[in-house]
Amino acid sequence: MTRTTSDPAGDTSGSAEPPPLLARHAEAQDLFGDRVHAVRDDQWGAATPCAEWTVRDLVNHLVSEQLWVPPLVRDSCMIEEVGDTFDGDLLGPDPAASWDTAARSAREAFTAPGALERTVHLSYGDTPATAYCAQMIADLVVHTWDLSRAIGVDERLPEELVTFTAREIAPYAGDLEKSGLFAAPVEPPAGADAQTALLCLLGRRP
């Protein structure tokens, strides 16, 4: 997902704790990573809730997104400079290890001193690094559910990440279907909880 958000990075002054945004990012990465490591050898070709994506395709997409972070945040690259560097298969013979390497590189880029104060050059224009990080969190959260459903593990998402993602997506939810990357919203059942409402908004059928 590549949109904007007004979610702040949080106060970093005199605190040993990471800013709230970075804490959410680490939590979302760890959550998705847990699911990647739970994929059995016979599940990489399985279907996912994402149309036309197998489990391998889905994980490859998230690996690509992580690998984009260092050049955009650390190196201030333009999209054109990166080009097709992260196209194609990035998982190799050990998908879980490839995820771990990519996730670590993204986390290091976002946690570097001053990283969240920078501007990144995305396909639709210059964007605060905080907004870019928030987008990455939302994408990780939603795709964690996709991967969980695909491989048959626990689909419950942490309440804090569901709340964060719903708030992040709300300003541009109406445009997601137009992007071609999301199905049309689904009417949530009566009394739906926050996670179900979020997934239905994004065209999922929990």
pLDDT tens-digit map of 108-165: 999 999 999 999 999 888 999 999 999 999 999 999 999 999 999 999 999 999 999 9
Please report the pLDDT score of residue 118 as a whole number.
Answer: 97
Q: How far is residue 79's CA from residue 25's CA, in Å, rounded to a whole number?
A: 22
Cβ atoms of 106 and 29 closer than 8 Å:
yes
Give the amino acid at 118: R
Give the amino acid at 205: R
Cβ atoms of 121 and 77 closer than 8 Å:
yes
Decide if pLDDT at 15 tops 90.
no
Please report the pLDDT score of residue 4 as a whole number.
Answer: 35
pLDDT tens-digit map of 178-206: 666 677 888 888 989 999 999 999 989 88
Tell me the pTM.
Answer: 0.88
